[in-house]
Each structure stands twice: as structure tokens, then as C-alpha cells.
Amino acid sequence: MNQVPINEFSTSTQMDLKLTNQRFIVCGASSGFGEAVARLLLTEGARVILVARREELLHDKFGDFEHQSEIIAGSLTSEKTLDRIFNSVQNQGFHGVFINAGGPSTGTPLETRMSDWDEAWQSVMRWKIDLSLRLAPLLVNNGYGRILFLESQSVKQPLPALTLSNAFRAAVVGFAKTLALEIAAKGVTVNVLAPGSHATPAIERVIKNKSSQENISYEEAKMTMEKNIPVGRMGKGEELASLAVYLLSEHSSFITGQTISHDGGSISGIFG
């Protein structure tokens, strides 16, 4: 059996995902997972509302898709940004949303302060609930839609020194599961992706934190992390994007209320 080398990985596929001219919102589209998902959606012919704080970066990265894309620049924790997203889809319609943003500060439980918890509630959970409560009724009224959250493998197996992420991301999963059950019969699915270590900008702070805590070099910390991944390497944003785009397509209509790992086998539980 011939295997495709890792460096030849491609998101191209013979499956017709039927995304041409469908409209999606991608949060955190300027880098990492958000960028990878947005790019694959656009490549598949979808129209995408690109949401991120850095407008110039979005123009630079997605200039080739200007006729398929719309840019909303602003912080997702801002009511004004959420208002702009809602106003953009309220009348024109849309088919799904990829809810994604960066994580909170690192630290063990005893290293956190209540101000850290207040900030993490805003940055990791509150805006996601707010956006979901705005968008879900629109999808329900249309009788079709996809809501996909990007969280972390920490929702299945807490990670050391990521106290705030462990707590709030797990809470997002509880919200997503409950929402999924409420609207499943309306043609709208709600799922969560739980990625492990991937070679994206977000992993930098995790590697640096491990390096500092264990008093080892950055490269040593990275190598140790990769050795603990059963497949022996970190994932790629494009690999996760292929799964995300499938879950945003009509082919995933029987998958809802699920938290799906994309971690190279890192979760040790049998339901990882």
C-alpha cells in the first residue's frame, strides 16, 4: 500500500463538498487554524466573512479571494464586532460559522488571580455564547446550518499550567452540547474540534511556558512535546482544516453534539 509522504499532504479531494457559493463566518481568520479553515473554504468555492483584529493582514493573506470574501476587522470580545457580524448575515443569510480565537494566559491554579478568571471568561467563553445566541436562531429559521467550535484537547484531558483554558474551554463544550440537543431537529448541527499540538502560532506560548517551567531550551521543550505525540510530530493547520470544512459541509448532517479530537493520538482515554 502506497503512503502519501507528510510533506506532500494536500487538502485537495475528489469528494464534492458542495460549498460553492455557500456563505460562512470564520473567526480568528488571520492566522493558525482560522486562516487554514478560511483558505480551504475559499478554495472550495465558498464565500467567507473573515473576522480578525488585523485588517491589513487579512487583505495580504486573502487578496486573491477578494471577490469571495468580506472582512470584518475587530476584537471578538467587542459588542461592535459581534454587531457587525450579525448585521452582515441577518438579511443576506449564511450557512455556518467557525468559532475560534486565541487562548488565555498560562498558569497553575495557585498562580491565577480573580482578575485572570474575569479576563478569561471574556476572551474564551462569553463572546462565543453571545455570538451563538445571535446566529443560531437565524440558522434555525432557515432550517439548515453548521456551528463549529475550535477548542482544545484540554477539554478531554486537562493540560498542566493551562488552568484557565482547561476550565473555560470545557464549559464551552457543555454549552455546545446543550445547544446541539436543542436545535438538532431544525437541521442545524453544533460540534467541537479539540486539537492537540499543531505547528501554528498558538503553540509558541505553550512551548515557551514549558521551556521556562522545566528550565530547558525552546528546542528541547518542543522535541519533548513531539516525542509525547504517538504519531511523532505536531499536526498541521491544513490537516485540521480538512476535517473542519467537512463538518461545515452538508455531508456532516448526522454528526452533532460531538467533541472530536485531532491530536495525533495524544489523548490517553479510550474515548479520546
Pair 266, 226: CB distance under 8 Å: no
Query: Per residue in 136-185, pLDDT tens?
Result: 999 999 999 999 999 999 999 998 889 999 999 999 999 999 999 999 99
DSSP 209: H
Q: Give yes or no for residue 58 having a pLDDT over 90.
A: yes
Q: Give yes or no for residue 209 having a pLDDT over 80.
A: no
HSE-CB at 1 with a 13 A cutoff on CA atoms is 1
Please list the helix, strand and coil fractions of the chain in percent, rounded to the nearest 5, in that order: 50, 15, 35
Mean pLDDT (the chain) is 93
Measured between alpha carbons, how far is 215 from 209 in angstroms, rounded to an integer? 10
- Chain centroid to Cα 180, Å, comes to 17
Cell 484537547 belongs to: 153
- Output the pTM of the full model: 0.91
The residue ranges of DSSP E strands in the chain, in sequence order, are: 23-27, 47-52, 69-73, 96-99, 145-150, 188-195, 259-262
Query: Per residue in 183-198, pLDDT tens?
Result: 999 999 999 999 999 9
> In the chain, what percentage of residues exceed pLDDT 70?
95
Structural domains in the chain?
Answer: 23-196+240-260 (3.40.50.720), 197-234 (no CATH)
The CB density around residue 152, as the number of other CB atoms within 10 Å, is 28
* pLDDT at site 77: 97
Q: Give yes or no for residue 14 having a pLDDT over 80.
A: no
Residues contacting residue 6 through CB under 8 Å, at least 6 positions apart:
233
Pair 43, 11: CB distance under 8 Å: yes
What integer is the mean pLDDT of 225-239?
93
Residue 210 C-alpha cell reads as 514549558
Measured between alpha carbons, how far is 83 from 74 in angstroms, rounded to an integer? 11
Amino acid sitting at position 155: V
Query: Per residue in 27-45, pLDDT tens?
Result: 999 999 999 999 999 999 9
Measured between alpha carbons, how far is 13 from 246 in angstroms, rounded to an integer? 11
- Chain centroid to Cα 241, Å, comes to 9
Burial per residue of 18-33, b for 16 or more beta-carbon CB atoms within 10 angstroms, e otherwise: ebeebbbbbbbbbbbb
Q: Give yes or no for residue 214 having a pLDDT over 60.
A: yes
Element (H, E) at 44: none
